[in-house]
């Protein structure tokens, strides 16, 4: 299991490069992971998505679907693809400290 030193802590990652433990996540880590995904700065709109993902994950046991997210978070499909270019749900999950989404939709 790959581990990395981030902000003075040893953090475990899974083989997909996502955080192993949901509870290891914090805003600093999110900013760092976002940079690695090519997102230089997380705006309020990014945080809307991230906070929604973090809120829904414990209940669903998986990342929400794009359809659910766009209906409930206030960010629509077009904007989501602009905020997280090239693979919005995977990137948003990664930055939010969630495992890779399991679903096909």
Partner 1 sequence: MSGQNNDIGKVSIIISRGSLDGVYPGLILANGARMEGFEANLFFTFFGLDAIIEKRMDKLSISTVGNAALRLPWGQKMPTWLGMLPGMASFATWMMKNEMEKLDIPPVREFLQIIKDSGAGIYACKLAMDMFHLKREDLWSGVDDILTVGDFYQISTGGLVLFT
Tell me the catalytic residues: 104
Question: What phi, psi does 90 have (nearest 5°)?
Answer: -65, -45
The interface with partner 1 within residues 37-66 (CB under 8 A) comprises 65-66
From 6-14, 26-34, 40-48, 75-83, give the range in contact with partner 1 by CB under 8 A: 75-83
Which residue number, 8 or 86, has a Cβ lying nearer to partner 1?
86
Q: How far apart are CA 69 and CA 81, in angstroms?
A: 12
Q: Within 10 A of 94 (CB to CB), how many other CB atoms are there?
A: 25
Contacts 24+ apart (CB under 8 A), 21-27: 22/57, 22/58, 22/97, 22/98, 24/97, 25/54, 25/96, 25/97
From 6-14, 22-30, 44-52, 72-80, give the range in contact with partner 1 by CB under 8 A: 72-80
Query: What are 39's two structure tokens?
Result: 């997102």
Q: Which of 9, 17, 47, 51 binds partner 1 (CB under 8 A)?
A: 17
Q: How far is the CB of 51 from partner 1 (least distance, A)?
A: 20
Binding site for partner 1 (CB under 8 A): 16-17, 65-68, 70, 76-78, 81, 85-90, 103-105
């Amino acid at each position: 299991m790959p581990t990395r030193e981030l902000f003075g802590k040893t953090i475990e990652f899974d083989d997909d490069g996502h955080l192993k433990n949901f509870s290891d996540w914090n805003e600093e880590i999110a900013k760092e992971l976002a940079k690695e995904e090519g997102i230089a700065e997380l705006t309020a709109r990014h945080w809307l998505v991230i906070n929604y993902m973090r809120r829904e994950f414990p209940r669903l046991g998986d990342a929400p679907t794009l359809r659910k997210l766009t209906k409930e978070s206030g960010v629509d499909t077009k904007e989501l693809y602009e905020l997280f270019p090239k693979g919005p749900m995977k990137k948003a999950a990664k930055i939010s400290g969630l495992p890779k989404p399991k679903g096909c939709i």
